[in-house]
Each structure stands twice: as structure tokens, then as C-alpha cells.
Structure 1
């Protein structure tokens, strides 16, 4: 079965003018425009990533059992979600900001990155079983997750509400989504926020949100274009990428992934007590300070989500209330 990358599909949907290549065949280098004011993004297999150099102080924090293997086993999302993690135009090379930042961390720790593309739930199974040393998968720090995992932050967590272009709908909170049909990913912090809004609407005598779940991003966008859903609530990097490339939708609202009272943060995730979180935080701080981190975010159009400090286990999204 042939797998077509979401990035390539979006570029084709937006028109051939957005896609430029050198060479021929599936392995051609390619770029897509991320919108009128955003950078052109390389979606070809030859990424020319920003690479790091081994930092002895950070490397010394890696437990001996991991250091001796010479590699860092890193879980990333299997579902194509540009610009976070997706497949290049050759349909086999994993690319995205998550892979770039994970590679920088591995380089700084003197280890070779080994990527495992897994479904959302299996990323955590991989950590629990010891199959993975880390997950770079757009994981938000939450108080519940901190019971089982350690976190070293590397990006602000922003969420976006994507709607059909010209919908004339702005979303600021619960009242604006009452009675609407909205798609969201299962088990995500945006799902929690959406469900909380729905409960708030019901308590206020308004209609609840009709929440929909889809297996593939392509199914979400087909539903949005056909009018079967009013909006999609997802990670702002993915939402902004799709809006810029496809040109048929717009952002109706942007929110912190930590909820109304907390700025959410995305973090490198490891099993609690694995001994690796200090090494991740040190490596991330090293590349933040030397400018490599900023270069990675800039090439994916995510400069606005930069952090100045990699924090270990900061306050996270509050626990789900009963």
C-alpha cells in the first residue's frame, strides 16, 4: 500500500505553485509555502538539519546504561502532522520540528538518535515498557502525567481552532462553541479543554459541544470542507501549517494548551525516575543558549513558541476534576 505524506497532499491541494523541486522522482527535494508571511518549508528527504556538538557537561548526566548503548531511542508521532512530525516526499524519511530538536539533543549528549514512529497511546506504552528513552511528540506537561513521567520543556504549547475560510466565527471560550460540532484528538489536552467548555455550556443552559473523533487528519479536513463539522481543535503548529498551505481554512482562536490560567509547555518526556530528564534539560538549555534551537524553530515557522529556559517538571495542566 502506497502512503502519501500529508505534507505533499496539502501542497498538491493548494496548487502546484506552492511546491518546487530539484531533480526528479519521489526523493526530490521540495518546499512548501507556509503562508504569505511564513518561511518556505523543506519537505524533501534531504533536510540539512541544524546539528549539535557533544557537550561534556550534558553528556555526563546521561546514565551509564544509556551512554553505553551509544544511542537514544526516541518516540515520535506516527500520524503525519506537519510541521511537528511527518514523512518527507520520499514517503519514508521522518522529518519535522520534533525530529530536529530530538536530533539536537542526541547530538549534544553524544548519542545517535534512533526514531520510533508510534501512535499516541503507544508512545507512552513505549516509555512504560522501557522500549523508549524519550518521546518528542508534542506532549504537554500535565499534573496527571507527572505522576508517571518526567519532563524537560522545549516549546510553548499553543492550540488553534481551525474553521472553514469565511465562516465569520471567532472562538474565545465556552460560549462560542456551544452547540457546535468540533473534531479533536482523543486523549489530548485540547480534548480536555473542549470537554470542559462543553460542561460549562451545559451548566449555563446552553447546548453542549458535539465532539467528533477521526482516525486521520485527511478525514478531519474532508469533514471540515463538507460542513460535517464546524471546526477542528488541534495543536497550533499543525493548524497554522494547514491554513497556510491549503488556503481554504482560517484560525478562529488561539489558546494556551495549559488552559485559561496557565501557559502550557511542550516537553521531552521520559519515564519517571529513568535518570534522563536532567540530561535532556541540560542539552536543551545548551542549544537554546548557543542559538541552534532558534534556528530550528525558525526553519519550521515556530519562533513564536520558543522558550528561554528548559524547565524540569513545571506546573502542568490541572488534574481532571470528577
Structure 2
């Protein structure tokens, strides 16, 4: 499903009708905890001053916006400029605070949507959001159906063979276990013989496979890697004891642990492995001419402060980048 949203010069709401049935246990503790009487907000974290930081979980997002910059908009390929829309693809809205459902159970909100909206503002384009599962992000980019993915996509060396990247956030991953877990993860040996959940096709999967292979080579037990495609399923597996931990994006795991109190983080690592700090990036088909415009638009948002406002409202200021980069070193191939 998709919806066209005109980048406003005043704050506005983007509504995404999503035709995905969601039997919600987690997202939503989130949406479920928000009180419609107070506009759908809840305390999400504490800032340095010790005051609770509220997150707007309603469909009326009052998003941070920024002004169009004509010289940056001129970098957009002619076909897209003539069309007047930026076709943005993201996953199905089940992972707060990255991308998840608002209190109406239809509108997808989160930091990924907000950053994509800022880019469209700078480029003076309307933004059309397409909500699909993870695998279909790349299928749609390959076919040219979508212009760019904003979906917590990590830069990897393998992906760079097909896609161009403009970075906009640090990528950290975390092991989330039940709140009563009495173990921590400091390296590969700590997941030997344990059942760990992960989503297929992610850099988390690549790292977990690599760690399991290292353990086997050292004479330790392999990791029992189990695959999940949505948060409802892996949190049910965690709560029932069928999983020892789930390895996912640090923002979403930390957010869930903080909001529910049912889990805790037992280890955090770079999403690109031991030697490289992973980075999340706007992802577009290689050599299609769009990456320079995305890169310039992201840097404009960083410099004018709107980017910092977006990260702050979702409690992700510690994942800010000083500047967007094009195709930096990424997670190395697993073979």
C-alpha cells in the first residue's frame, strides 16, 4: 500500500493505509499503552536532565519539516523531477522507534519515515511511502519501482555491488533476552550452543552466522539460529523460553526493553562487525543518478538542525552522524 504526502511548509501528517493484518503483542504495547485522551503520547526515555521524554504515538505526527533547497533539488534525476514524487520503500511497520504503527493501527510512524520526509522536503518532492516486507524492499529497488529505501538498511560490501548508499545514522545491533536472563554477550563464545533469533537477509544474520562458524572452528557448539520476520513472533518465542535472545537493531530492542520491562539488553555491537562502525543509509539502485541528491539533502538536514530534531524526538541522538557519506566501507562479505 502507499500514500502520497506533500512535503509541507508547515508541519503535516503522513498517513499510510497499511493492508497488513497485525496480531499485535508488542507494537503494540506501544500503541496499546498510549492514551487517546492525551493525544497518544507516552514517556519513552529520560534525557540528561532526568525528565521523561514523551513520544507522540498518534497518527497526527506534527513532523519536523525543512525548506526546499533549489540547488540540491536540481541534482535529482530528470525523470524523478518531472514525476514530482520520491518513491520511498520501508518495511511493514512493526519495529519501534524505527518504523511502526500509530495508535490507529494503520499509520506507520517512526524515525525512518521522518528522515525520508526531511529528504523529500529538501528535494521539493512529494513523498510516496510504500510499505512492504524486507525482501521486497530490494526486489522493488531492483525493478525501479521504488527510488530509495529508508528502512534501517546497513551498508555492506555485498550490497554495494548493486546499490548506492547515503548514510544517515550509526548502526548498532543488540542481543535482547528476557529480563531474568543471567548471562551477557561480549563475543562469539557467549552465543555458542544458544538459540538466537534473527531476521533473514540482515547484517545481524551475517554476523551471527560468522560467529557460529568461528565457534565451531574453535571446537565450541554452533549457535541454534532461528528465523523470524516480525516482532510478534520473536517476542512470543522469547517469553516462552524457546529463544535465549533475539539479535536485532539496537534502537528497537532498547525501546522494547524500556517500554515493556519484560526484556533486557545483554550485549551491544557495531552492525558492521568488529572492525568497522556500521552505518545506516538511504539505499538506491547503483548508478541511477539519485545518490548525490540524497547525500546533499541529508547533509542539508544535518546542517540546518532538522535532522537532530528528528533523532531527539525518537530518543536516538546517540546514533547521529556528523555528515552523510556516499558508499563508505561496509560490513564485509561472509565468505
**TM, length-normalised to structure 2:** 0.90
Residues in 2 aligned to 1:302 and 1:109: alpha-carbon distance in whole angstroms = 24
SS at match of 2:40: strand
SS of the counterpart of 2:167?
strand
> Which position in structure 1 is the counterpart of 2:37?
22
Paired with 2:26 and 2:223, the residues of 1 have a C-alpha distance of: 30
Q: How does 1:35-184 map to 2 (within 5 A)?
A: 35=45, 39-184=53-198
Report the 3-state secondary structure (helix = DSSP H, G, I; strand = E; otherwise coil) of the residue aligned with 1:10. Answer: helix
Provide the alpha-carbon RMSD of the alignment: 1.6
Alignment correspondent of 1:220 = 234
Q: State how far apart, in whole Å, the 1-side matches of 2:207 and 2:61 are.
A: 35
Q: Residue 329 of structure 2 is aligned with which of 308, 315, 320? A: 315
Partners of 2:23 and 2:45 in 1: how far apart?
22
Residue 35 of structure 1 deviates from its aligned partner by: 4.1
Supply the distance in 1 between the matched residues of 2:88 and 2:143 (Cα, whole angstroms).
Answer: 13
Does structure 1 retain, via aligned residues, the 8 Å contact 2:93–2:101?
A: no
Does 2:325 align with 1:306? no
Runs of 4+ in 1 over 3 A off after TM superposition: 1-8, 35-38
Q: For 1:6 and 1:295, locate their aligned partners in 2 and report how far apart those are by CA, in whole Å.
A: 30
Q: Among residues 25, 28, 31, which one is paired with 2:41 in the alignment?
A: 31
> Residues 34, 275 of structure 1: CA spacing in aligned structure 2 closer, same or farther, 3 A cutoff?
same
Is 1:190 aligned with 2:201? no
Partner residue in 2 for 1:26: none
Three-state SS of the structure 1 residue aligned to 2:253 is helix
Deviates more, 1:122-131 or 1:36-45: 36-45
Partner of 2:296: 282
Summarize deviations over 1:234-273 as a string: whole Å, max 9, x none: 0001101100111111000110001000000000000011
Change (3 A) 1:292 1:36: closer
Contact 2:27 2:100 in 1 (8 A): no
Shift of 1:222: 1.0
What do the CA deviations read for 1:255-301 (whole angstroms, capped 9, x no partner)? 00010000000000000111000000000000100100000000001
Matched, 1:253 2:272: no
User: SS of 2:94's equivalent?
Assistant: coil
Report the CA distance shift for 1:313/1:89 in structure 2 as closer, same or farther (over 3 A). same
CA distance in 1, matches of 2:118, 2:127: 9
In the superposition, the TM-score normalised over structure 1's length comes to 0.93
Alignment gaps of 5+ in structure 2? 1-19
28, 38, 54: which one aligns with 1:9? 28
Determine if contact 2:93/2:108 at 8 Å carries over to the other structure: no
Is the Cα contact below 8 Å between 1:8 and 1:89 reproduced in 2?
no
- CA change 1:36–1:166 in 2 (3 A) is farther
Tell me, in whole angstroms, the C-alpha distance in 2 between the residues paired with 1:135 and 1:12. 25
- 1:2/1:128 Cα in 2 relative to 1: closer, same or farther (>3 Å)? closer
Between the aligned partners of 1:84 and 1:12, the Cα distance in structure 2 is: 14
Gaps of 5+ in 1: 24-28
CA gap of 1:184–1:8, structure 2 versus 1, over 3 A, is closer
